[in-house]
């Protein structure tokens, strides 16, 4: 008959996927019951809404089953008590002492690439591009989050159809996830009504953005897409200087006015020494639904030439598409498919993995 000690030993090899520590070391294994060949493991999660609970339970079950084919293993999940959470946090804080300037969440987060999506001008489709980029990278197997830094004009939750408020967990603020698993953090998720106005001055906006980076438990991410507000003011400056931005993507449209203003955003990135991954031209064309002919409604854009000026790549153009509008309004931006944008996503993926 298997012993409790043997079960605990194999469970030491089961890691919490985001905290990256053994569930035994974290004190998550509350009890192990052995009755002949029946083994019951009780695991206490940091929050009952833990999005990775199925993964943790499955890994624990498989680990115990490796002790013998005859074993009948069950795993029950519950939530940690306040005392259990405190013990876990005390242990993690000891590990954090080498970096006392970081919050506990910031200490645990492992974000490989931070991609800022920006534009000097509003109305060019920057937030839509950020949402499509995050959804596209996730479809390609990357772990992705979106930080909505457009504090006074947030639209990311609406695009993804996310409405639930973030959870205040033991490790920090736990962001909700989209239907497909993209993590979302936005001020709009914390307002009583989604159309409530955020009337804040620059310092408060900057503080909120820093909190979204430092105090949100993002966990392990391959890419965090940051949706910036238009322009080159406080919010953009905070992201560029306070976050470890790997590179930025600039969104343009074919009009000469947009072209001129977007150059300001590109020059800002250049002055702050933030690499420009590439430039996207939105509303580049439209396809006639009857004959399939391609129309450049706003005239031929100059984005490709702009990209050369700033020694970066022209990632491609996006169409005016009523299907995208329909899906975005319904909170289903992840369901949109377009071969032109898929090429853009692939170029960005290669760029951040290089």
- Mean of the per-residue pLDDT values for the chain? 87
325 confidence band (pLDDT: 50, 70, 90): very high
The CATH-assigned architecture of domain 104-353 is 3-Layer(aba) Sandwich (3.40)
72-79 β-sheet, strand order:
29-35, 38-45, 72-79
Q: According to the model, what pLDDT value does residue 280 have?
A: 93
Task: Give the torsion sign (CA, 59, 61, 62, 66).
Answer: positive
Q: According to the model, what pLDDT value does residue 230 have?
A: 83
Q: What b/e readout covers 210-249, taking b as 16+ CB neighbours within 10 angstroms?
A: eebbbbbbbbebbbbbbbbbbbbebbbebbbeebebbbbb
**5 or 255, greater pLDDT:** 5
Structure tokens at 23: 């569930």
CATH 1.20.120.1200 fits 4-96, yes or no: no
299 confidence band (pLDDT: 50, 70, 90): confident
225 confidence band (pLDDT: 50, 70, 90): very high
Question: What are the φ and ψ backbone dihedral angles of 247, each rounded to 5 degrees?
Answer: 180, 165
The residues pairing with 319 across neighbouring beta strands, listed in sequence order, are: 285
Q: According to the model, what pLDDT value does residue 248 have?
A: 93
10 confidence band (pLDDT: 50, 70, 90): very high
User: What average pLDDT does range 333-348 have in this prediction?
Assistant: 93
Structure tokens at 331: 């909170």
pTM: 0.76
User: What average pLDDT does range 39-56 have in this prediction?
Assistant: 84
Q: According to the model, what pLDDT value does residue 100 have?
A: 53
User: What average pLDDT does range 72-85 have in this prediction?
Assistant: 89
Give CA angle at 55 (51, 59), nearest 5°: 155
207/238 Cα distance (integer angstroms): 9
Domain coordinates of the chain in residue numbers?
Answer: 4-96, 104-353
Q: According to the model, what pLDDT value does residue 329 have?
A: 94
Continuous segment of H or E residues that includes residue 247? strand 247-252
């Amino acid at each position: 008959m298997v012993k409790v000690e043997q079960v605990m030993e194999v469970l030491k090899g089961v890691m919490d996927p985001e905290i990256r520590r053994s569930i035994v070391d974290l004190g998550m294994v509350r009890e192990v019951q052995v009755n002949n060949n029946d083994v019951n493991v009780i695991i206490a999660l940091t929050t009952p809404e833990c999005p990775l609970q199925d993964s943790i339970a499955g890994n624990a079950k498989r680990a115990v089953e490796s002790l013998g084919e005859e074993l009948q293993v069950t795993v029950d999940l519950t939530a940690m008590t306040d005392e259990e959470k405190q013990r876990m946090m005390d242990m993690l804080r000891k590990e954090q002492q080498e970096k006392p300037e970081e919050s506990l969440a910031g200490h645990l987060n492992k974000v490989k690439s931070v991609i800022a999506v920006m534009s000097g001008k509003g109305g060019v489709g920057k937030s839509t591009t950020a949402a499509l980029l995050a959804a596209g990278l996730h479809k390609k197997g990357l772990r992705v989050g979106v930080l909505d830094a457009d504090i006074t004009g947030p639209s990311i939750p609406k695009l993804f159809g996310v409405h639930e408020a973030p959870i205040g967990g033991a490790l920090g603020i736990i962001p909700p996830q989209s239907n497909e698993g993209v993590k979302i953090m936005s001020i709009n998720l914390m307002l009583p009504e989604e159309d409530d106005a955020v009337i804040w001055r620059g310092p408060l906006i900057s503080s909120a953005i820093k909190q979204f980076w430092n105090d949100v438990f993002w966990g392990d991410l391959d890419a965090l897409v940051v949706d910036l507000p238009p322009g080159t003011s406080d919010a953009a400056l905070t992201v560029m200087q306070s976050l470890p931005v790997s590179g930025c993507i600039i969104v343009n449209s074919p009009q000469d006015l947009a072209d001129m203003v977007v150059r300001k955003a590109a020059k800002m990135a250049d002055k702050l020494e933030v690499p420009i991954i590439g430039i996207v031209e939105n509303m580049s064309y439209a396809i006639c639904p009857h004959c399939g002919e391609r129309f450049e409604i706003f005239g031929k854009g100059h984005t490709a030439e702009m990209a050369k000026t700033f020694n970066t790549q022209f990632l491609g153009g996006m169409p005016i598409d009523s299907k995208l509008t329909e899906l975005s309004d319904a909170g289903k931006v992840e369901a949109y498919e377009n071969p032109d944008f898929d090429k853009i996503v692939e170029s960005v993926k290669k760029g951040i993995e290089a």
